Amino acid sequence: QVELQQSGPGLVKPSQTLSLTCAISGDSVSSNSAGWNWIRQSPSRGLEWLGRTYYRSKWYNDYAVSVKSRITINADTSKNQFSVQLNSVTPEDTAVYYCARGRVGLVGDYLDVWGKGTTVTVSS
């Protein structure tokens, strides 16, 4: 049974960096059949996909255009986890952040396992 355990601070000051980690149990971050995603949810934006990392003989990353200049998603194979860093945060980045495993469907990916979510507030 795959589980994702999220960790990271719930409060970040404006202009600083949001950092969250998602530890994987029951699967490998280096799996050739999964992708490792970050999604956030806020009342104003709904569910918003931020990006993913995945391994297919080498590492790849995809990012949403809306955050592409500020986001980095990395995998740590030694700890079997992946992380997100979002730079230069503003109050608009206040949201519940989720990590999720992506699986390849008939046309593109779906997200079959989710972390419990981390509420991140951007405030001084």
Partner 1 sequence: SYVLTQPPSVSVAPGQTARTTCGGDNIGSKSVHWYQQKPGQAPVLVVYDDSDRPSGIPERFSGSKSGNTATLTISRVEAGDEADYYCQVWDTTSDHPVVFGGGAKLTVL
Q: Which C-beta is closer to partner 1: that of 6 or that of 83?
A: 6
Enumerate residues 71-110 that contact partner 1 by CB under 8 A.
98, 102-103, 105-110
- Identify which of 122, 31, 2, 17 has the alpha carbon closest to the alpha carbon of residue 70: 17
Residue corresponding to tokens 């945060």:
89
CA gap 107, 117 in Å, rounded = 26
When asked if residue 60 is in the footprint of partner 1 (CB under 8 A), the reply is no
CB of residue 9 vs partner 1: minimum separation in angstroms? 19
Q: How many residues sit in the footprint of partner 1 (CB under 8 A)?
A: 26
